[in-house]
Amino acid sequence: MLISELAKLTGVSARALRHYEECGLLVPARNSSGYRQYSASDAVLVARIRTMIAAGLGTSVIRRYLDCARTGDRGTFLELCPDLRAELDAVAGRLDARQAELREQRRRLSALVSGA
């Protein structure tokens, strides 16, 4: 299938698909005219990439651990190894820190509103 077809099938823009290719996440074949050619397995790969991005992983981390991603009855999951566990713990730590910052910001906003 062509990039427009994969974009429609996966709900991901053609621009995003080209970005995944630039990042080394997606490697389409090329036809004799130079057009990108995708297979059904590429659609599964795009779903895995999107799931990992939605979980807060950057493309460089995804590139290193995309081979650990699996798709099962309950969606995409990762087979964990110690290095990947450390990466995921770091992401969780950044999220926790950001949540704490937001709670503090919310407290300050409430104090401004109440005049305290």
Report how many helices (DSSP H) and strands (DSSP E) the chain contains, helices first: 5, 4
Is 60 in the same domain as 116?
A: no
The Cα–Cα gap between 92 and 35 comes to: 39
Q: What percent of the chain has a predicted confidence (pLDDT) above 70?
A: 99
91 and 63 co-located in one domain: no
Give yes or no: residues 26 and 65 share one domain. yes
What's the number of domains the chain is made of? 2
pLDDT, mean of each 10-residue run, the chain (116 residues):
96 97 95 94 93 90 87 81 87 95 96 84
Q: What is the extent of the structural domain holding 93?
A: 80-116
**Same structural domain for residues 33 and 74?**
yes
How high is the pLDDT of residue 116? 62
How high is the pLDDT of residue 81?
80
Alpha-carbon distance 19 to 31, whole Å?
20
Shared domain for 6 and 60, answered yes or no, is: yes
